[in-house]
Structures are given as structure tokens and as C-alpha cells.
Amino acid sequence: MDNNTVLVLANPADPQLKKLAALPETTSIAVGDTAEAFARAAAQADVLFNWSESGPLFREVFTMCPQLHWVHSRAAGLDNLLFPEIVESPVPLTNGSGVFSPPLGEFVLGAMLYFAQDFRRLIRCQAAGVWETRDIEEITGRTVGIVGYGDIGRAIATRARGLGMHVLALRRTGPPLYSVDPLIDGFYGPATRLEMIARCDYLVVSAPLTPETRGLIGAAEFAAMQPHTVVINVGRGPVIDESALVDALSTHRIRGAALDVFDAEPLPDAHPFYSLENVLLSPHCADHTPDWLERAMQFFLEQFERYRKGETLLNVVDKRRGY
């Protein structure tokens, strides 16, 4: 597939756009952050690349393009991008799943160690000039449960197994029928999630936000947790019922939480999470390595080569399921 027209939804000043020069010379590229920027090129567009992650602009430009063959989103999460027109369209949609998984796996590992070693206490004592010894915990031999066992979940499982942890996984489809994953000690389905949650020392949410996962971890799930359980969310904020989480933390029903995603972002001023001592906050940047944007652009370029050669694209989204 040569002589392609590619529309890139982005601020033209973004430095990563320079990498688009690696596309074949026969490729026509239009870049802009308004629908007007694509008025001429939209009718011939073959590929639409949503680099800006703007849902409204994405929808407007998509409806301007009658001849699209492929749409790609820089982000892995798609909960604000699956508008009816694209869901109903036969045009394949791919996303950035997998590009950001390694640093998210490291964030989860760091969060578990943060609570096991009680780093907040160490920092507090150091700042106060207090010499206070105390026993710490190992995470070796502890159990971590992963809610949403996709690419991020596997990155977490790989690192947890490397430290000798037991790993459980919750999947929408339940236990696999014909294969065994060496990283996982046990699979659970939605109907048995309370059984899994009750076994966990650490519960990690890495699920996408869909109608089925919204509020998946709520009051009943917190009631099933052990008092020393730590909840870590690197998926999407609304997968956890935020009010139920605040209640579980403020009443010390659970030990703590490490959160990279929230219902509202930025987190509103005076939100309870800011003042709770048993919460570790990350402002939705746990995967922002110095080269995270370069990685995302490089993945698009590799995907484009597959598209141009007629090869199977990676990360094709089931638009009705939302991932």
C-alpha cells in the first residue's frame, strides 16, 4: 500500500513528529490540532493517527474521512475515544497497548516495596531527626492479585514472580481452558473475584474501563480484603469505586493504596487522597519515562510498515468490548 495519506491529530510543534520523516516518501502527511487543518486532506485519507488523545477532535476528524483503512491511537486506554461512529465502523482501530507496560510494572513493584518497607515512616523519621528501629516485611512469599490480566498485568506478574511472589489473576473470561501460564498460580473469573481478593496481600488493578469494569472493585470487594491488603491502581480510576476506597482507607479497613489514576484528573483540590497517610499518589505519570513519547511514535512507525506491507496489525481493538 503506497501513496498513503496520513492525518495526524497533534500540535504541529510536538518534537516527536520529526520521526514521521521516516515514513516512505510517497506518503502524504497532514498534521494539525483543529478539524479545519484537515479540510483538504480528509477526503483522501487512508490512515488517521490520534497522537493528541483528544476525544472530541478525534471524533470530528474521523467523521470527515470516508476512505479510512486504519485508525491508530497513541494511548492504550480508549474509554473516552470509542464514540458510536467508530464502534460501528469496519475500519480497524489499534492502540498503544504494551508500549508503556514495563514502567507500569516497575511502579507496581515500587509501590509494594514502599508499603512493605514502610518508606513513609523512614522519610518522616529522617526529616524529624529521629532514630527509630522497626521490623519490616518481605514481599517474597506474599500474594499479589491482578485484576485485568493483559499486557500490563503480564509485566506486573513477570516482576512479581522474579521476587518470589505468588501471583493470581482475574480475567473476564475466567481460567484458560487449554493453556497454562507459568507466571500465574491461579486464574479467577468475575463470579469468583471475592475468593481471589480474600487471598491477596496486594491487589493490583490494571483493567481497562468498560461498562463491565466500571465500579468492579467496590464495597463488597473491600469487605473481602484482609486488613493488611494494599490496593494499587494503574488501570483506570473508575474501575474502583472511589468513595468505597476512601472509606476503606480512612477507616483502616485496608492497609493502604498506591494510585496512578483517578476518577477526575487532575485530582481536585482538598480531595481526601491528599491527606490520607496510607495513600501513595502518582499524577497519572507512572509510565512517563524520558522516552515514553518516542516509544509511542516508534510503535506507530512499526505499525505503519505492517499496514503498508499488508501484514497483520498489532493491538487491534475489539471496539465493542473496549480493549
Q: Which residues are catalytic?
A: 236, 265, 284
Give every strand in the sheet of 93-94, ordered side by side.
28-32, 5-9, 47-50, 70-73, 93-94
The dihedral over CA atoms of 260, 265, 271, 273, expressed in degrees to the nearest 10, equals: 0
DSSP string, 36-51: GGGTTTGGG-SEEEE-
Q: How far is residue 66's CA from residue 201's CA, in Å, rounded to a whole number?
A: 51
Cα gap 144→168, rounded to integer Å: 6
Say how far apart CA 122 and CA 155 lie, in whole Å: 28
Q: Which candidate, 218, 211, 176, 175, places its Cα nearest to that of 197?
A: 218
Closest CA to 42 of 60, 58, 65, 59: 65
Q: Give the span between the Cα atoms of 80 and 119, in whole angstroms.
A: 36
Set of cell numbers at residue 303: 505499525
Contacts 24+ apart (CB under 8 A), 252-255: 252/227, 252/278, 253/222, 253/223, 253/225, 253/227, 254/222, 254/225, 254/226, 254/227, 254/228, 254/229, 254/230, 255/115, 255/227, 255/228, 255/229, 255/230
